[in-house]
Amino acid sequence: MLSKEAIERYQQIYERQFGETVSFEQAKTQAEGLVSLVKLIIKSNLEHKYESGNQFGQSGQQN
């Protein structure tokens, strides 16, 4: 769950980017969805990165 301040900040950013206001409830739903998406992407990337059991690329350097 996001804090009230985080949701209000999302509202400010949304209005600045799109020139439209969103209600607190709309902002809460959108922001929580965005956080879930980012978490999913990070998890997927980490699973893919460590799938082979090796965190290093072919050159031996850490990615």
Predicted pLDDT at 12 = 98
- Is 10 contained in some domain? yes
Dump pLDDT digits (tens) for 30-60.
Answer: 999 999 999 999 998 888 877 756 555 554 5
Number of domains comprising the chain: 1
E strand or H helix that includes residue 44: helix 24-50
Q: What is the value of pTM for the model shown?
A: 0.71
Q: Is residue 56 part of a domain?
A: no
Task: With CA atoms as reference, report the closest residue to 14 among 4, 33, 27, 28.
Answer: 27
Is residue 22 in some structural domain?
Answer: yes
Mean of the per-residue pLDDT values of the chain? 87
What domain range includes position 15?
4-42
Closest-CA residue to 24 (of 40, 41, 3): 3
> Is the residue at 34 inside a domain?
yes
- Residue 60, in any domain of the structure: no
- Per the DSSP assignment, residues forming a β-bridge with 62 are 56
Give a yes or no: residue 59 inside a domain: no
- Asked, for residue 26, whether it belongs to a domain, the answer is yes
